[in-house]
Copies of this chain bind each other. A is one copy, B any other.
């Protein structure tokens, strides 16, 4: 496989983030999930975009978000 097709991406919606500290807390926790290579969080929309070396179980991302103190709603 080529470089691009080795990547997996997934998008979630996170509820409860109100400021940049919240974004940082979610990013930090999700970034620690094994296999995750990149995380992008949009405060306004609650969008959480995850790039990983291979597909990561959504439950692992949900758990990381909850560890940070927030909730995945989609």
Contacts and interface: CB of A to CB of B under 8 A. Distances in A.
A18 B19 CA distance: 7
How many copies the complex holds: the figure is: 2
Interface residues on A, range: under 10
Contacts of A25: 21
A29 to B, nearest CB: 13
Contacts of A21: 19, 21-22, 25
A25 B20 CA distance: 12
Contacts of A18: 18-19
A2 B61 CA distance: 56
Interface string A22-58: 1001000000000000000000000000000000000
